[in-house]
Every structure is written in structure tokens, then in C-alpha cells.
């Protein structure tokens, strides 16, 4: 009986949540005429605009009611926009279509290129591989005959491997890897993102013990790769060690002394000695020894010699390693903390940055190449050269209407064809002129070729994105959100902002009624010289009194940041800004102070202009007046507009239903 009940529980939960979801979709928190506002709609909008579902659960009833009022106002304005036919305006239709195309293209790149790549990168990060390789070095831009010779040499090595010759022996004989004499081709363990991409793509396709059947080409040459181990990535570890130096080349006596000492330390630890205390006292890595042997958190296969890491990454937390030898000496290793591989969501931002920096350009080129095949792309090379030669190279890409200077016969030439659609010179030129990526770039032939390539990419992606809503229906919600944003902007312009009278007469009237709010404090304009010694200040003062130009002296001597470039002149500033302006305001216009001390420095100040506190003139206050008047009138007009909408449409509110919001997950 219990067994059957356990199987039924998930079904009950699913039915319960489904019923709860349906209940929230059917429960109304408001209605506007016949248009319902469901609790589900309210919850989703609140969460989207206010920091998520958890923020909604924390919101008080007062906050929820306030948001309901804002939501109803928003929907009233949208209803007014539709009833006014605003959504049919050509300007809005064009803007919406441009946004839809841009969003669809970005959506397509994200879903079909970037996101799969990020998930593949993450999948590789969850494993670590060990591989050996044989490198037949081949510089980039090598002549074809040399490339063929290197390829044939690599295939010869693969044949020898097929005949059973040991990989390590062939690596020593053939590999151009500079470390091959020591490592016999062994690259030790690595994980995703640590090798160049063609190498990584190949090795992650292998089974343990398998060798690539064809040489793998990278920027270094041809590789023959053998996968020797594959295991889950251990994540990061926090490591401590005790070390005795015995580097490569040390004498046998020094090596034996280090060996005996590390074993003595090891025996003490096994007998119960404290690791941190022993590290502080005996470790010859003094930097970590002072911290009780702590080396900090080690990333996957990125930080320490392979012999050290191969031991450390296999230790359980708190367990001592055996005595371990590296090129630096002898170690006793202890893992003090384990940090598993983070989740995809935790790593996503870091993966995205790495992908954009290292892989996106190549993947994007391959993506575009695939689209060219998919849509029978054809490039009219002769027409492209005709277009490039016809453009005035003295112009810039963003020069207004530069494409109008092209002859009509040139403008109608197709540059490339996608399926049965031609993209003409005129269409490409319009895109180039409008693309902010090309702002300020001269229409030189090499620049134009890059711009035409970009137009090709845009048109191909737009073609592939024509039916993106069928593949990814969630894009529809984003387009709808943008449509509502456009409608709100235009209807508010029409109902509010265009109704505000900003004539000089009206602004002057507002200014006169409120001019006591528009005041300047005490202000002053001074010329200052600040130096580090009183003797220099006195000498400069004497030179000014003798008739030398103070501004020229300020350019040469004053040490205050930025004031040399201004010849020591502050411009009109608040009189209480600092000690220098206070001194300047205390003087008469034209008066020069004697040198006085300011902190550890010495200053001379000449008052150029004083302006005691006063009411601003209308012209001086104009920007402030406009801002205040617009703010006041926009609020007044919006309130009147919304009030009229509430009268025009039948609005019903059900705030008591808001207590049900954001609770179904808890239930």
C-alpha cells in the first residue's frame, strides 16, 4: 500500500501545481472593460520589473497594491494607444519591425551558436583528460609543398603507431615539441579551455587509448594525439605542503639530506604532530611555511608542477600524501578544502567571456558559412568591385546620404543573392551608412570590403531569423514588451509632453512666480598660485607686485592639479569651496593677497570678480525653470489623463486577491 502511495505522490504534486497555476491564471486582480488582469499576469510583471519572484514574496500588501495601481495605469495607457490607432502608425510599425529583426538575429545567434558552445565548454570543464602528442611543427603561412611534406610525415608516424611501435618512442624520434625529451609526449592532465581549440575538439572526441586517425592541424603544426586517461574534474582544492629543497642538479649529499629530513617530518606527522606547526618550523618554502604550509586554492591543472598536482588532486580532504618528489625537492601534501566544479549557471558569465575572447569569431565565421550553403548564397564579385570603385573615398560611412551620389545604374546592381533575393548596392549602402559600427570610418576600398562582408552576415542571419518565432516562441513575449514600450512612449508624448506650453511667455510667468528658488550663492572668480615653500611664495608675490603677469607665473609654478592649464584661474565658483576662494571673496575685485599658508602649502590669491548671493536672471535660470515646469505640468497632465481614462473605461480592482500572490511555490 505504501509503495503505491509513493508512486502517486508526484502525480498529486503535479496536479496540485497545475491546478494552482490555473487558479492564478483565472483569478482576477483587476479588469478594464472586458480585458482581465489575472493574478498570474500581475505576478509575472511584478517579478520581471522588481527583481524576481522572491522580491514579490517579500513585498508588503501596501507595496503590492501600489504596484497594482501602476499596472492598471500602464494598461489604461496601452488601451488608449490602441484605441487611438497608434499601433498602425507607419513610424511605429517601422521601428517595431527593425527591433524584431534585430532581436530575432540576436536571439538566433545566442540560441544556435553561443548557448550550445557555452554548454559544450562547461561539459568539457567537468572532465579532465590526459593525453600525449607528437607535433610535426609547421609555421603558419607555409608553402603548400612544405605543408604536404609535414602532413605525409605525420601520416607516416600514424602508420608506425598502427604497426605497434610505442607512442613514447615515436614522440622522442619525431616530435618537434621542445619538452619531448623529458615528457615523451605526455601533456599530463588538462581540462576545457587549456588547449587550442582544434586540438581540444579532437581530443575530446577520443576514447581512452584511441589515437587520432588523421593529423590535427593547429597554429603550431600537425599533431598526432593519444588519449591516455579521462576522469571527472576534481574542481579546485586548497592545498598545504611541507617542503625540503632538493632541486634538479643538487649534489647527492644535499639530496640525501633533504630526503632524510622530509621522512623524519613525515614520521612525526604520522605520530600525531600538528601539520601547521611542522610547516612553520621545518618547511623550506618560507612563504607558505609562515602560513602553516597553506598554498591557497589551486585551480584545475593550472598552477603547480604536474608531479605535485597529480598527487594533490587525488587526495581526500585531510589525508597526508606520501613523500612526493618534484623538480624543486621533496613535499608532504595535504588537501584542506575541496571546491567542486561550479554549476553551469555559476560559471556562465566566465564561460561567456572566454568564449567571446577565444572562440566566437571562428565559430561565427563557420556559422555564416553554413548559412551561405543553406540559402544558396552567391556573391557578385564584379559588381562589388564596381561599387567600391564608384565610391568617393573622401567620404565617411556615416556621411549623410553619401549613397545618393552613386549613379542609378550602379545603385541597382546586385552585390549578392540569398536564395532568390538580390541585395543591391543601394540597399547595402543604406545599411553601411546607418551602422554605428562604421561611424567615422573612411570609405576606403579595404574598409568597404569589410563593410560589405558585414552586410552579407546581417542579411544571412536576418534570412535565417525570418521564422524564428516558430522555433523559439518565447521571443514573441519580448517583441510584445517592446511594442508596448513604444506605444507608451508615443502616447505619453501625445497626451502629456506635447501638451506642455514651453513658450517664453509661460516660462517667464512661472519664473516670476517662483524666482526666489533660483538663486546663486556667494561666488567668486580668482587667480591662484599654490607652491610648497613660503620663500617661493614670497618671491612670486614680489614679482607680481613688480609688474609680472600673475597668470603666466601660475602656468609655470602653481602645483594644484589642473590649474596650470587654466593659468591659475578658477572661473566663477562658490565662494566657500575652499580656503582660497574664501580669501578671494573676502577681498575687493582686483585685490592681491599676501602669501598665506594653506595646510602644508602656501598660496597667493587675486580676486578677479565677486558676485554676492542673488536671484538668478531668467536667462541664467532658464534650464532649471524648464525642468521644474515640465516636471510639474507633466505630473498634472498625466493625472488628468489617467483620471479621464478611468472614467472612459470601466475599471474594477480586486486588491484583496493580492494576498494570494507569490505563494504557490510554497504551497
Give the relative orientation of helices 61-83 and 39-49 as an angle to the nearest 10 degrees: 100
Phi and psi torsions of 239, nearest 5°: -125, 140
The cell for 100 is: 524584431
Lowest mean pLDDT among 28-37, 163-172, 352-361, 396-405: 396-405
Taking the C-alpha atoms of residue 658 and residue 653, their distance in angstroms, rounded to an integer, is 11
Return the pLDDT at 489.
94
The cell for 600 is: 602644508
- Tell me: the pLDDT tens digits for 436-445? 999 999 999 9
Taking the C-alpha atoms of residue 372 and residue 453, their distance in angstroms, rounded to an integer, is 12
Residue 587 has pLDDT above 90, yes or no: yes
- Tell me: the pLDDT tens digits for 219-232? 999 999 999 999 99
- The three-class DSSP label of residue 503 is coil
Task: List CB contacts of 280: < 8 A, sequence separation 6 or more.
Answer: 289, 290, 292, 293
Residue 100 has pLDDT above 50, yes or no: yes
Q: What is the dihedral of CA 356, 361, 367, 373, to 10 degrees?
A: 170
Taking the C-alpha atoms of residue 335 and residue 316, their distance in angstroms, rounded to an integer, is 7
Give the residue from 178, 183, 186 showing the smallest Cα distance to 132: 186
Read off the pLDDT of each residue in 444-448 and give the average, rounded to a whole number: 94
- Kindly state the percentage of the chain with pLDDT values over 90: 75
Return the pLDDT at 2.
34
Residue 666 has pLDDT above 80, yes or no: no
- The three-class DSSP label of residue 119 is helix
Return the pLDDT at 602.
97
Beta carbons of 30 and 72 less than 8 angstroms apart? yes
Return the pLDDT at 473.
87
Read off the pLDDT of each residue in 342-370 and give the average, rounded to a whole number: 92
The cell for 306 is: 604536474
- Which domains are present in the chain? 2-83 (no CATH), 127-232 (3.10.50.40), 236-340 (3.10.50.40), 359-464 (no CATH), 519-615 (3.10.50.40)
Beta carbons of 333 and 312 less than 8 angstroms apart? yes
Residue 10 has pLDDT above 50, yes or no: no
The cell for 441 is: 570610418
∠ CA 447-94-475, nearest 5°, is: 90
Assign 300 a pLDDT band (cuts: 50, 70, 90).
Answer: low
Taking the C-alpha atoms of residue 665 and residue 210, their distance in angstroms, rounded to an integer, is 49
Read off the pLDDT of each residue in 223-251 and give the average, rounded to a whole number: 92
Return the pLDDT at 302.
61
CA dihedral for 578, 579, 580, 581, sign (positive or negative): positive
Average pLDDT of the chain is 91
Read off the pLDDT of each residue in 590-594 and give the average, rounded to a whole number: 96
- The three-class DSSP label of residue 294 is strand
Give the residue from 642, 430, 494 showing the smallest Cα distance to 89: 494
- The three-class DSSP label of residue 577 is coil
Read off the pLDDT of each residue in 444-460 and give the average, rounded to a whole number: 94
Taking the C-alpha atoms of residue 596 and residue 395, their distance in angstroms, rounded to an integer, is 58
Assign 304 a pLDDT band (cuts: 50, 70, 90).
Answer: confident
Give the residue from 313, 333, 336 showing the smallest Cα distance to 325: 333
Residue 469 has pLDDT above 90, yes or no: no
Return the pLDDT at 19.
45
Residue 21 has pLDDT above 60, yes or no: no
Return the pLDDT at 239.
95
- Tell me: the pLDDT tens digits for 127-144? 999 999 999 999 877 888
∠ CA 14-17-21, nearest 5°, is: 135
Lowest mean pLDDT among 22-31, 62-71, 102-111, 325-334: 22-31
Read off the pLDDT of each residue in 346-359 and give the average, rounded to a whole number: 92
Residue 9 has pLDDT above 50, yes or no: no
Return the pLDDT at 22.
58
User: Which residue do the cell numbers 601534501 mark?
Assistant: 333
DSSP code at position 627: H
- pTM for the whole thing? 0.67
Residue 612 has pLDDT above 80, yes or no: yes
β-pair partners for 573: 524
Residue 4 has pLDDT above 80, yes or no: no
Beta carbons of 418 and 379 less than 8 angstroms apart? no
Beta carbons of 634 and 524 less than 8 angstroms apart? no
Cα→Cα distances 310→128, 304, 504, Å: 12, 10, 80
β-pair partners for 378: 417
Residue 157 has pLDDT above 60, yes or no: yes
- Tell me: the pLDDT tens digits for 569-580? 999 999 999 999
Cα→Cα distances 380→171, 278, 393, 457, Å: 49, 76, 22, 15
Read off the pLDDT of each residue in 356-369 and give the average, rounded to a whole number: 92
Amino acid at each position: 500500500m505504501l509503495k503505491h502511495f509513493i508512486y502517486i505522490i508526484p502525480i498529486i504534486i503535479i496536479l496540485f501545481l497545475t491546478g494552482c497555476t490555473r487558479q492564478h491564471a483565472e483569478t482576477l486582480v483587476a479588469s478594464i472593460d472586458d480585458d482581465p488582469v489575472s493574478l498570474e499576469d500581475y505576478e509575472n510583471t511584478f517579478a520581471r520589473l522588481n527583481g524576481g519572484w522572491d522580491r514579490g514574496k517579500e513585498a508588503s500588501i501596501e507595496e503590492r497594491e501600489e504596484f497594482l495601481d501602476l499596472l492598471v495605469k500602464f494598461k489604461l495607457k496601452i488601451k488608449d494607444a490602441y484605441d487611438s490607432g497608434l499601433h498602425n502608425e507607419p513610424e511605429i510599425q517601422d521601428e517595431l519591425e527593425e527591433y524584431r529583426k534585430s532581436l530575432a538575429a540576436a536571439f538566433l545567434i545566442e540560441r544556435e551558436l553561443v548557448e550550445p558552445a557555452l554548454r559544450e565548454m562547461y561539459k568539457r570543464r567537468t572532465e579532465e583528460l590526459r593525453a600525449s602528442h607528437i607535433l610535426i611543427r609547421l609555421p603558419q603561412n607555409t608553402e603548400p609543398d612544405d605543408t604536404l611534406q609535414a602532413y605525409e610525415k605525420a601520416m607516416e608516424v600514424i602508420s608506425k603507431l598502427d604497426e605497434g611501435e610505442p607512442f613514447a618512442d615515436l614522440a622522442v624520434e619525431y616530435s618537434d615539441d621542445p619538452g619531448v625529451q623529458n615528457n615523451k609526449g605526455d601533456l599530463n592532465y588538462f581540462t576545457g579551455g587549456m588547449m587550442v581549440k582544434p586540438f581540444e575538439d579532437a581530443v575530446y572526441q577520443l576514447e581512452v587509448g584511441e589515437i587520432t586517425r588523421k593529423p590535427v592541424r593547429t597554429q603550431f603544426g600537425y599533431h598526432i594525439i593519444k588519449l591516455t586517461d579521462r576522469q571527472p574534474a576534481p574542481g579546485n582544492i586548497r592545498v598545504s605542503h611541507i617542503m625540503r629543497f632538493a632541486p634538479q642538479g643538487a649534489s647527492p649529499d644535499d639530496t640525501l639530506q633533504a630526503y632524510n629530513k622530509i621522512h623524519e617530518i613525515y614520521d612525526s606527522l604520522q605520530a600525531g604532530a600538528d601539520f601547521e606547526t611542522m610547516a612553520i618550523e621545518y618547511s623550506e618554502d618560507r612563504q607558505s611555511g609562515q602560513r602553516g604550509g597553506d598554498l591557497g586554492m589551486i585551480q584545475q591543472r593550472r598552477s603547480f608542477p604536474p608531479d605535485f598536482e597529480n598527487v594533490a588532486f587525488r587526495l581526500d580532504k585531510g589525508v597526508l600524501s606520501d613523500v612526493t618528489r618534484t623538480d624543486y625537492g621533496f613535499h608532504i601534501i595535504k588537501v584542506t578544502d575541496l571546491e567542486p566544479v561550479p554549476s553551469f549557471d555559476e560559471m556562465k558569465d566566465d564561460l561567456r567571456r572566454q568564449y567571446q575572447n577565444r572562440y566566437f569569431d571562428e565559430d561565427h565565421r563557420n556559422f555564416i558559412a553554413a548559412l551561405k550553403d543553406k540559402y544558396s548564397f552567391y556573391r557578385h564579385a564584379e559588381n562589388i568591385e564596381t561599387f567600391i570603385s564608384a565610391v568617393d573615398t573622401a567620404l565617411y560611412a556615416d556621411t549623410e546620404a553619401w549613397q545618393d551620389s552613386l549613379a542609378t545604374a550602379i545603385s541597382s546592381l546586385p552585390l549578392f543573392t540569398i536564395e532568390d533575393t538580390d541585395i543591391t548596392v543601394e540597399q547595402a549602402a543604406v545599411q553601411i551608412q546607418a551602422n554605428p559600427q562604421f561611424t567615422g570610418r573612411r570609405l576606403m576600398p579595404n574598409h568597404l570590403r569589410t563593410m560589405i562582408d558585414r552586410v552579407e552576415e546581417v542579411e544571412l542571419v536576418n534570412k535565417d531569423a525570418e521564422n524564428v518565432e516558430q522555433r523559439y516562441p518565447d521571443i514573441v513575449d519580448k517583441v510584445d514588451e517592446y511594442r508596448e514600450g513604444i506605444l507608451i512612449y508615443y502616447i505619453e508624448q501625445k497626451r502629456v509632453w506635447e501638451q506642455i506650453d514651453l513658450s517664453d511667455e509661460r516660462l517667464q510667468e512661472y519664473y516670476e512666480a517662483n524666482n526666489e528658488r533660483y538663486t546663486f550663492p556667494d561666488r567668486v572668480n580668482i587667480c591662484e598660485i599654490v607652491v610648497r615653500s613660503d620663500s617661493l611664495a614670497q618671491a612670486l608675490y614680489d614679482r607680481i607686485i613688480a609688474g609680472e603677469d600673475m597668470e603666466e607665473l601660475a602656468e609655470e609654478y602653481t602645483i594644484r592639479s589642473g590649474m596650470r592649464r587654466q593659468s591659475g584661474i578658477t572661473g566663477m565658483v562658490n565662494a566657500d569651496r575652499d580656503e582660497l576662494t574664501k580669501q578671494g571673496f573676502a577681498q575687493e575685485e582686483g585685490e592681491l593677497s599676501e602669501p598665506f599658508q594653506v595646510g602644508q602649502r602656501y598660496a597667493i590669491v587675486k580676486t578677479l570678480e565677486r558676485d554676492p548671493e542673488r536671484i538668478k536672471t531668467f536667462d541664467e535660470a532658464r534650464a532649471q525653470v524648464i525642468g521644474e515646469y515640465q516636471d510639474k505640468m507633466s505630473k498634472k497632465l498625466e493625472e488628468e489623463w489617467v483620471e479621464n481614462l478611468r472614467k472612459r473605461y470601466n475599471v474594477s480592482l480586486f486588491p484583496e486577491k493580492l494576498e494570494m500572490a507569490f505563494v504557490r511555490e510554497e504551497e
